[in-house]
Amino acid sequence: MQIRSNLALRALVLPGDEPFVPSPMAGVERLMLDRDGGEVARATTVVRYGAHSRFSTHMHDGGEEFLVLEGTFADEHGVYPAGTYVRNPPGSSHAPFSEEGCTLFVKLRQFQPDDTKRVVVETARGQWRQGLVPGLHVMPLHECGGEHVALVRWAPGTVFNPHTHFGGEEILVLEGVFEDEHGVYPKGSWLRSPAMSRHHPFTKEGCTILVKVGHLA
């Protein structure tokens, strides 16, 4: 299966552009953002667990990275409320479930070979740092080599500098409305900008975004 799998092309999914489709496990649905492969695939997905649903035990051959967007997710290793960011390295395994239901943003099989550390960050307790321009605050979540992952909070009226994505950039809009010269991206929008692309981002009303850079070189 090939869904926006060419990483050299810009990709955009706005709220309502794609439907949730059933997964192989009852009560678990997926909204596929990009995918290269079948049931085992390099994939970026929004996954929705119904109440009392679970997924069978499985191994992360190429690693798993996720952010809990709503509800509470769990596995035999812990309980992850909304806002929790987790990285399960290649070779790890788990049997996930959700008692109350939850929604996750998940990336599979996208780890660098030397990225072997498990990471769990409860962002509700995280520290925000001043960004590069007034009105911008950043919460770093992970970095390995040239790859960086962070939450970025924009105050209303914030304008960032025009810049080039030397290693690419991927954004999920968590709150508010993010914008650039190419479009307007409300909550739930996902956009992927390839290596060497360029834009001039800003926000009129304010927003919070999950940003990942350096992984598309």
| Phi, psi values for residue 177, rounded to 5° | -135, 120
Please tell me the distance from the alpha carbon of residue 79 to that of residue 174, in angstroms, as a whole number. Answer: 21
Q: Does residue 14 fall inside a structural domain?
A: no
Number of structural domains in the chain? 2
184 and 92 share a domain?
A: no
From residue 111, give the alpha-carbon distance in Å to each of 51, 89, 102. 30, 7, 24
Q: Does residue 200 fall inside a structural domain?
A: yes
Q: What angle do CA 13, 55, 26 make, to 5 degrees?
A: 80
Task: Tell me the average confidence (pLDDT) per consecutive run of 10 residues in the chain, 217 residues long.
Answer: 96 97 94 92 95 92 96 96 97 95 97 93 97 98 96 98 96 98 98 98 98 94
- Residue where a domain terminates, one of 122, 149, 168: 122
Q: Does residue 145 fall inside a structural domain?
A: yes
| CATH number for the domain harbouring residue 94 | 2.60.120.10
23 and 118 share a domain?
A: yes
- Residue where a domain terminates, one of 94, 122, 150: 122
Structure tokens at 113: 């070979």
Q: Does residue 184 fall inside a structural domain?
A: yes
118 and 145 share a domain?
A: no
- Residue where a domain terminates, one of 95, 122, 149: 122
Domain with 89 in it: 2-6+19-122
pLDDT at 113 (0 to 100): 87
Q: Does residue 13 fall inside a structural domain?
A: no
162 and 111 share a domain?
A: no
72 and 98 share a domain?
A: yes
- pTM for the full model? 0.96
131 and 167 share a domain?
A: yes
52 and 84 share a domain?
A: yes
Q: How many CA atoms does the CB half-sphere of 216 hold within 13 Å?
A: 25
pLDDT at 124 (0 to 100): 95
pLDDT at 40 (0 to 100): 81
28 and 109 share a domain?
A: yes
175 and 192 share a domain?
A: yes
149 and 190 share a domain?
A: yes
144 and 101 share a domain?
A: no
